[in-house]
Structure 1
Amino acid sequence: MKEGESESLEFKRSTGELKEAMQTLCAFLNGKGGTVLFGIRPDGNPEGQAVSDKTLRDIAQAADRFEPPAHLSINRIKFKEGRDVIAVVVEGGQDLRPFIYEGHAYERVGSTTRRMPQVKYERMLIERGHARRRWENLPAEGLAIKDLDRKEILRTRELSIQQNRISPDTSRNLGEILDRLGLRIGGMLTQAALVLYGKRFLPEYTQCLIKMGRFRGTEITGEIVDNRQENMNAFAMVREGMAFLERTMPLGARFPTGQIFREDRFPVPLDAIREILLNAVMHRLCQA
């Protein structure tokens, strides 16, 4: 208490500040958890408060106004005759976040509790729904290992070894590799396994599609001079996309001063293009 209030600690002189305390507990639930101490002055010095059964009931009843329901650990600490300190502790909400209290969500910033911005609240709602039932972790009905690209799976193994992500002794057995990658759960291959390594996608997986085109001029409404679309897995999308761009982008060249070798240059660095393409594939809404 000598260090004062913090991101996970709040002082209240009494339960007369119960509403504000509950807002702070809501912020703790939406963060990493924390403790509210009743009977402590703002400077951190304890003075206690009179505590009765009604006091504890009031705290419990106030806690009923959390959505979703939250667990509060309420501890009564003897301070001196007739005066106690009450410690209310909550754990971080994890997959249940965001919590609201009396219809509003709160967050903790340093030692301050404030109303959570709407954008952050909506993002946490999406994350909560995603964590509960993630499409990519659902079983892909009827999918077998023979339906996956063996070379692509082994390529992942080799790259992981090169980057020291897995041991060189890791088995080349496809099933064991998929288990290690979390792409087979309870003996069932997941939707993610198909998106990453599948060989056939139509008609069920029309979203596993890459469209590549080149237009005359600078407007996408102009004349199409090259147009392709392919259904393929995520790794193949990145490779095909890069190959298409390298083939169709203008390639310039220069001879650096003092050197005899030509230096080829694309209008946009290939590393930057690869990053953009990877992000587009990775963040695609695959369940759509």
Structure 2
Amino acid sequence: METIDLKQRIAQGENTTTEFKESFDQEVIETAAAFANTDSGIILIGVSDKREIRGITIGKETLRNWSNRIAQATDPRVVLEIESVDIEKKSVVLIHIAESSIKPVSVKGRCYKRVGNSNRVMSPQEISQMHLNATGQTWDRRLAGNAGSDDIDPKKVQWYLTQREEVRNVARPQDMDVTELLKNIKGSNREGTPTHAGILFFGNYPQSFLQNAQLRIVRFKGISVTHPVLDRLDCSGALWEMVDAAEEFIRKNIRLLSFRTSRSFQRDDKFEYPLKALREAIINALIHRNYQKHSDVRVFIFDTRVEVINPGTFPEGVSPDAPVHEPVNPILSQFMYDIGFIERYGSGIKMMKRLSNEWGNKAPRYEFHPLETKIIFDSPIQESTYVEIDDISEQLNERQKNALFHVQKSGQIATREYAEINHISPRTAYTELKDLTDKGLLTAVGKGRGIRYVRKMDDQVTD
């Protein structure tokens, strides 16, 4: 490396690939291991952490001794190059550490990872995940502890086959039992022992084997987790069951807004967030998370935003700006694709942005932490361009909210249907539907038993 390049590197300070040391010590060895476990790097000995070039005195065997000490203290041994360079007429030792092809590298039984400008001891879960990544094996393909074929729900397998056929036009296999099918789709090994993916998608109760494979949703009153909790739901079951339960909860705990646009006297109503975008964020968190971490996926609903928190980080080389598909759990991703819960691989981030823009909301933003990734959907209320916005959700009961959601999806609802969905009498159904018409949210169309309720627009005239 040229002297001018080294000066520029020193001026930039310590970071994920650069470390300064005034002398050779144990931390040099730990840094070498951290670089080998992460993304390579250089160690400059004779430079202070304040970027001052102090220089260092070395003898004939110094470089050889330091090289041997690093090699002997690391397992597997790191690949390094060491040399002495002159910077501002002072001797500085440059040690270049290559990224190891066999990971993780340990020092006295400890594994280190480079995070920012420091070294961090890796957790057992991180060590296991790094080993899997290095060997090309993924978590979802590993066997699920003591699970057996009896822990698989055949009904869930049949549901999956039906969905796959309807959504992806994949014919159902003929004369193949559940055990053989699971082997073919990597839901189990050759002996029929379920994989993590198999249990998480088809298990009777996946959390018996994967306690952290849960989804926790909390609705706070206010803008902070220190504020009172209004509602919460701990989702469990198969992966797709948790997604559906989460959507139902969110729909009941975000505001249904009624508004007039600035260019029209028409009135419309919609949720403050695009549900499809929130659903996509939750699916991404569930299928791309690091299941070896003890944390669960969390969704926090505040007055001004919704946060989806994934206990994991983007794969190396992947970011919101460069969403190349690099699945952490490719089998789970395939299962979700098969049933239509996700579309083209790697399209989720772009889709969430597009849906938010079409909804009139800001694009979701990301916050990155060493142990988790957070995607944030901001509420449009404070910055809305609508002339009038009314929060009507507090005026409705849960059955009425369900009815409005049903009408948004299906276009209409009848009194009998409302009663059946909510397990109430026709009289109560009629009363609550009439309340929705009185509030200007629905309008009755037709006569007698043929009456149905559709969305109401202002100044709409009906017979």
Query: TM-score, length-normalised on structure 2?
Result: 0.37
Per-residue CA deviations over 1:72-123 (Å, capped at 9, x if unaligned) read 36799xxxxxxxxx997643146634655998958497xxxx542xxxx245
| Residue equivalent to 1:64 | 72
Distance in 1 of aligned mates of 2:65 and 2:59: 14
| Residue equivalent to 2:364 | none
Q: Retained in 2: the 8 A contact 1:28–1:34? A: yes
Per-residue CA deviations over 1:14-44 (Å, capped at 9, x if unaligned) read xx96558756634531332357899xxxxxx
| Residue equivalent to 1:128 | 127
- Residue 250 of structure 2 corresponds to residue 245 of structure 1: yes
| Residue equivalent to 2:450 | none
Using CA pairs under 8 Å that are at least 6 residues apart, name the structure with larger relative contact order, 1 or 2: 1
- Residue 37 of structure 2 corresponds to residue 4 of structure 1: no
Secondary structure at the counterpart of residue 252 of structure 1? strand
Distance in 2 of aligned mates of 1:151 and 1:70: 50
Deviation at 1:131, TM superposition (A): 3.8
Q: Retained in 1: the 8 A contact 2:215–2:234? A: yes
Q: In structure 2, what residue type is equivalent to 1:149?
A: V
Which residue of the other structure, out of 146, 149, 163, is the alignment partner of 2:157? 149
Q: Retained in 1: the 8 A contact 2:18–2:41? A: yes
The 3 A distance-change label for structure 1 pair 197 and 17 is same
Q: Retained in 2: the 8 A contact 1:135–1:287? A: no
Per-residue CA deviations over 1:214-234 (Å, capped at 9, x if unaligned) read 999x944x7x8xx98775311
- Count the aligned residue pairs: 242
| Residue equivalent to 2:452 | none
Q: In structure 2, what residue type is equivalent to 1:127?
A: E
Secondary structure at the counterpart of residue 189 of structure 1? coil
Distance in 1 of aligned mates of 2:37 and 2:281: 32
The 3 A distance-change label for structure 1 pair 264 and 175 is farther
Which residue of the other structure, out of 19, 30, 33, is the alignment partner of 2:37? 30
| Correspondence 1:222-237 to 2 at 5 A | 231-237=236-242
| Correspondence 1:62-211 to 2 at 5 A | 62-66=70-74, 68-72=75-79, 90-93=97-100, 96-97=103-104, 99-100=106-107, 107=114, 115-116=118-119, 121-122=120-121, 126-132=125-131, 136-140=140-144, 141-143=147-149, 147=154, 148-152=156-160, 155=163, 173=173, 183-186=187-190, 188-198=193-203, 200-201=204-205, 204=208, 207=211
RMSD of equivalent CA atoms: 5.7
Q: In structure 2, what residue type is equivalent to 1:152?
A: Y
The 3 A distance-change label for structure 1 pair 56 and 252 is closer
Q: Retained in 2: the 8 A contact 1:37–1:87? A: yes
Q: Retained in 1: the 8 A contact 2:207–2:237? A: no
Q: Percent identity?
A: 17
Deviation at 1:156, TM superposition (A): 6.0
Deviation at 1:191, TM superposition (A): 1.9
| Residue equivalent to 2:327 | none
Q: Retained in 1: the 8 A contact 2:255–2:272? A: yes
Secondary structure at the counterpart of residue 4 of structure 1? helix
Q: Retained in 2: the 8 A contact 1:210–1:232? A: no
Per-residue CA deviations over 1:223-262 (Å, capped at 9, x if unaligned) read x8xx987753111211122124325655332242445764
Distance in 1 of aligned mates of 2:284 and 2:182: 23
Distance in 1 of aligned mates of 2:216 and 2:111: 43
The 3 A distance-change label for structure 1 pair 284 and 268 is farther
Distance in 2 of aligned mates of 1:206 and 1:24: 34
Q: In structure 1, what residue type is equivalent to 2:279?
A: R
The 3 A distance-change label for structure 1 pair 156 and 72 is same
Distance in 2 of aligned mates of 1:102 and 1:202: 33
Distance in 2 of aligned mates of 1:176 and 1:72: 45
Q: Retained in 2: the 8 A contact 1:23–1:101? A: no
Deviation at 1:65, TM superposition (A): 2.9
Q: Retained in 2: the 8 A contact 1:34–1:90? A: yes
Q: Retained in 1: the 8 A contact 2:200–2:239? A: yes
Any gaps of 5 or more consecutive residues in structure 2? 10-15, 46-57, 84-92, 133-137, 222-226, 295-463
Distance in 2 of aligned mates of 1:88 and 1:191: 42
Which range is displaced more, 17-26 or 228-237? 17-26
